[in-house]
Amino acid sequence: MSSSVALSGCFENCMWASSAVFRRQLFLIRSLGGHCCRVHMERMQGAEGARAATLEADAEGVIRKITPVMDPRLYKGQAGKIAVIGGCREYTGAPYFAAISALKIGADLSHVFCTKDAATVIKSYSPELIVHPVLEESYGVRDDEKASVFGKVVGEVKKWMERFDCLVVGPGLGRDTFLLDCVSGIIRHAREANIPIVIDGDGLFLVMNNLDLVKGYHLAVLTPNINEYKRLVDKVLDCEVNDQEASEQLKLLARWIGDVTIFRKGKLDLISDGETVSKVSISGSPRRCGGQGDILSGSVAVFSSWARQHLSSTKETTEKSLSNPMVLGSIAASALLRKSAALAFASKKRATLTTDIIECLGGSLEVISPAG
Ligand SMILES: NC(=O)C1=CN([C@@H]2O[C@H](COP(=O)(O)OP(=O)(O)OC[C@H]3O[C@@H](n4cnc5c(N)ncnc54)[C@H](OP(=O)(O)O)[C@@H]3O)[C@@H](O)[C@H]2O)[C@@H](O)CC1
Ligand SMILES: Nc1ncnc2c1ncn2[C@@H]1O[C@H](COP(=O)(O)OP(=O)(O)OP(=O)(O)O)[C@@H](O)[C@H]1O
Ligand SMILES: [Mg+2]
């Protein structure tokens, strides 16, 4: 069987959910206990053979290609307008890290949509950010007010939606049920408006329980850390993480969810849109202070916006995944985060904090793609 025929067969597998064949397979998988991934893997391997090892991405080449030149004819906003949906009573650092990283890399405007409790705190970290105190948690809303507050919250974000090049949903969002309902409404509007979305942190918690929010949306990137990836694999593939077949499992996960890009964060970063898998293993920092994933989500937002702009202005024909702006943006963000973390660690050692890494973003980008 040709590999393309086999691949399309595999895709069809993802559509089994409503068929009798799928129910029979599910029964078989369940009867085998925790071996469902092996079953899937064998199907994949049967389909594609033992595919070539996952290639290291030419991340610096990608950065050079998509980073826009500094052109005095550009006006404010053309280098990127990013919005972070996140920030609640508990977490104010995460949305700040994501939003400020976007600016430090070169976006022109960075907004944060958060709860009232978080807004003043985030504003006090930086006057550069545009902060909207619009999200509401259950404790502040009576049951009989919920429908109207929902409409107001979603409406406030929708007013701005079309101006954004990318949304980052989840850093420091929390897990309040009413707040997450409103964020589901925001994601639906973003999809309708064709706005790319990076889903991270508690945004992944939301999406994992409502896969339809991202299913089939080619402009969505999911950025799970080690715990979030475990939960995603468990929920979607109904099995455990398989590190021996990491690339195949990731590819399968992206296909199973449907047309999204998944960025699996870890000792090495793996990125797949279900077509190919790219690896970025540039050495980073051994410090694992919280917040590095937040820098990454803001960075993916900027680079994927730049990749989208680049691709729409060139007629390059290339491999399908390398014409996927979300994959290119993810590869670029991974490399820049890792280089910046290494640079920060070289001078700060054990005292390295997320804010130190953010300070290294500009310098690290300058080495790869000088501003002029
Ligand atoms: N400076 C800041 O502001 C930073 C803020 N950050 C923000 O923190 C948030 C969580 O992200 P994280 O990375 O801690 O998630 P992760 O590793 O899955 O969780 C570890 C364990 O905690 C638990 N758990 C988590 N949230 C829970 C909840 N609301 N309620 C109850 N349990 C919860 C979780 O349990 P489980 O999901 O398994 O039930 C798991 O066992 C997210 O918004 C992120 O952006 C970070 O970006 C760092 C910098
Ligand atoms: N062991 C490691 N060695 C080197 N770099 C790593 C390692 N683990 C993660 N990273 C880098 O740090 C980035 C953030 O990953 P991490 O797993 O810390 O995210 P996170 O847990 O979501 O972070 P946050 O604390 O912001 O929520 C990854 O993209 C990766 O490049
Ligand atoms: Mg995180």
pLDDT digits (tens, 9 = 90+) for 276-310: 999 999 999 999 999 999 999 999 999 999 999 99
Rounded to two decimals, the pTM is 0.90
Confirm if 334 and 296 have CB atoms less than 8 A apart. Answer: yes
Q: Tens digits of per-residue pLDDT, 130-176?
A: 999 999 999 989 999 999 999 999 999 999 999 999 999 999 999 99
Sheet holding 55-56, edge to edge: 55-56, 277-280, 269-272, 261-264, 220-222, 197-199, 166-169, 81-85, 109-115, 130-135
pLDDT of the residue at 353 = 98
Task: Provide the token pair at 288.
Answer: 């694992």
Neighbouring C-alpha atoms within 13 Å toward the C-beta of 47: 18
Q: Tens digits of per-residue pLDDT, 200-220?
A: 999 999 999 999 999 999 999
Residue nearest to atom 27 of ligand 2 (CA): 293
Pocket test of ligand 2: the residue of 92, 204, 230, 265 to mutate, having most ligand atoms within 8 Å of its CB, is 265
Phi and psi at 280, nearest 5°, equal -125, 115
Of 247, 233, 164, 178, the residue nearest 204 (C-alpha): 233
Read off the DSSP letter of residue 278: E
How far is 136 from 151, CA to CA, in rounded Å? 12
267 marked ligand binding residue:
yes
Q: Which atom of ligand 1 is nearest to the CA of 173?
A: 43
Of 232, 181, 179, the residue nearest 205 (C-alpha): 232
How far is 240 from 234, CA to CA, in rounded Å? 6
Task: Provide the token pair at 57.
Answer: 């991405």
What residue spans define the domains of the chain? Answer: 3-51, 57-368
* H or E, element range at 249: helix 246-257
pLDDT of the residue at 54 = 87
Dist. CA 182 → ligand 1 center (Å):
20
Q: Could you tell me the fold of the domain covering 57-368?
A: UDP-N-acetylmuramoyl-L-alanine:D-glutamate ligase (3.40.1190)
Task: Provide the token pair at 339.
Answer: 């280089």
Tell me, using a 6 A CB cutoff, whether residue 224 lines ligand 1: no
175 marked ligand binding residue:
no
Please report, for residues 76, 181, 228, the alpha-carbon distance to residue 263 in angstroms, rounded to integers and kept in the order given: 30, 25, 11
- Tell me the percentage of the chain whose pLDDT exceeds 70: 84
DSSP assignment of 176-212 equals -HHHHHHHHHHHHHHHHTT--EEE-THHHHHHHT-GG
How far is 37 from 42, CA to CA, in rounded Å? 8
291 marked ligand binding residue:
yes
Q: Which atom of ligand 2 is nearest to the CA of 292?
A: 26
pLDDT of the residue at 138 = 96
177: Cβ contacts below 8 Å, ≥ 6 apart:
138
Cβ count within 10 A of residue 59? 25
Residue nearest to atom 31 of ligand 1 (CA): 175
Of 319, 236, 315, 306, the residue nearest 277 (C-alpha): 319
269 marked ligand binding residue:
yes
How far is 153 from 160, CA to CA, in rounded Å? 12
Of 320, 242, 237, the residue nearest 278 (C-alpha): 320
Dist. CA 330 → ligand 1 center (Å):
22
Place of tokens 């991202």: 214
Residue nearest to atom 10 of ligand 2 (CA): 266
Tell me, using a 6 A CB cutoff, whether residue 91 lines ligand 1: yes
Dist. CA 86 → ligand 1 center (Å):
13
Does residue 25 carry a pLDDT above 50?
no
91 marked ligand binding residue:
no
Place of tokens 């597998």: 13
